[in-house]
């Protein structure tokens, strides 16, 4: 033991970097990507405060959903319905505000997530349908429901207080969307790293059989993470509605891919047992920086897709190497 401690004490900064660089690749990558765009686009306003805040606003909903997706992937499951649930929640929230006011809208948005999460979770834990299939089906159900109840029309948010709280306002120079992202991130980090529930999530994702024999109710843990994911997706939909002051079934469309990419990019294993909320948020911000930088560079949309995909594949390959179970 003393020899090990002595060796650690003699370790050089370069040696420490060589030993830990892979697990910190998302932070290294974020800094490098940010510096690249800052240097190449300094004359196009990339570092302007308004542009930086716009990146935060555009990324906030992805980051919020990524926090819950970290729990889902860490438990060995997946949720493909988050984007569609966000769109549905934006519609139910806007419609409920028109019917019963601010509190009714907030309650409707939250209950949308609770309902979807319970359906997804019970189908997966009671009927043993894989979450990939359950949430894939729910993606279509949620989107179809949003289209049906809204008549495919945008539903305006008719309360002035709601946008100020949910995504459309600022506290001083700080957008409320950024505060929501930070608040959800802090709660998610504490839950995953500092609570018994978080330790059980990682145990279930690491080895579900061993977790079951150690006394963990694995079905309950998986039910909870799926419900949390749906409720968080609904919160993202409520933030979309607040920012755009309207509820639309298209809001959140395709976000599930960005959310999963951000989480995996941040270092969470697709195979369960390993997760980091901070990394997931940095992953979401990195995707936001890449999107913003490529637009300012004037690339065509097709070129943006190619460049963004290549950067994400490279970063994910580096961060996930060695995490696949034997």
Q: Could you tell me which residue, 304 or 44, shows the higher pLDDT? A: 44
pLDDT at 312: 72
Q: Which 3 state secondary structure label does DSSP give 174?
A: strand
Token pair of 295, please?
A: 């637009």
Question: Phi and psi for 321 in degrees, rounded to 5?
Answer: -60, 130
The pTM score is 0.90
Question: CA–CA separation, 104 vs 96, rounded Å?
Answer: 6
Q: 148 or 5: which carries more pLDDT confidence?
A: 148
**8 A C-beta contact, residue 58 and residue 288:** yes
Length of the chain (residues): 326
Query: Cβ(103)–Cβ(300) under 8 Å?
Result: no
141-162 average pLDDT score:
95
pLDDT at 249 over 50: yes
pLDDT tens, position by position, 264-281? 888 898 888 889 999 999
**128: alpha, beta or left? (left if phi > 0; alpha if psi -120 to 50):** left
Supply the pLDDT for residue 319. 62
Q: What is the pLDDT of residue 28?
A: 84
Name 170's bridge partners: 175
């Amino acid at each position: 033991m003393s020899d090990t401690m002595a060796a650690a004490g003699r370790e050089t900064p370069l040696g420490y970097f060589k030993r830990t660089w892979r697990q910190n690749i998302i932070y290294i990558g974020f800094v490098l990507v940010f510096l690249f765009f800052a240097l190449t686009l300094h004359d196009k306003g990339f570092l302007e405060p308004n542009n930086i805040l716009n990146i935060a606003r555009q990324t906030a909903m992805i980051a919020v959903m990524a926090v819950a997706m970290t729990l889902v992937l860490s438990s060995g499951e997946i949720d493909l319905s988050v984007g569609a649930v966000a769109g549905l929640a934006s519609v139910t929230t806007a419609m409920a505000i028109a019917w019963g006011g601010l509190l009714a809208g907030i309650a409707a948005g939250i209950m949308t997530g609770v309902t979807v999460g319970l359906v997804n979770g019970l189908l997966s834990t009671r009927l043993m349908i894989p979450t990939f299939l359950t949430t894939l089906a729910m993606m279509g159900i949620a989107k179809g429901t949003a289209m049906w109840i809204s008549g495919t029309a945008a539903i305006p948010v008719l309360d002035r207080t709601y946008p100020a709280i949910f995504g459309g306002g600022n506290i001083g120079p700080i957008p409320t969307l950024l505060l929501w992202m930070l608040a959800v991130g802090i709660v998610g980090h504490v839950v995953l790293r500092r609570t018994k529930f978080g330790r059980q999530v990682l145990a279930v994702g690491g080895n579900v059989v061993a977790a079951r024999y150690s006394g963990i109710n694995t079905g309950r843990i998986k039910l909870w993470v799926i419900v949390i994911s749906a409720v968080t997706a609904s919160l993202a939909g409520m933030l979309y509605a607040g920012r755009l002051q309207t509820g639309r079934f298209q809001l959140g469309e395709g976000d599930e891919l960005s959310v999963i990419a951000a989480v995996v990019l941040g270092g969470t294993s697709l195979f369960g047992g390993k997760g980091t909320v901070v990394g997931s948020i940095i992953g979401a911000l990195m995707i936001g920086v890449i999107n913003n930088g490529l637009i300012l560079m004037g690339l065509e949309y097709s070129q943006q897709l190619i460049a963004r995909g290549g950067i994400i594949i490279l970063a994910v390959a580096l961060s996930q190497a060695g995490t696949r179970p034997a």
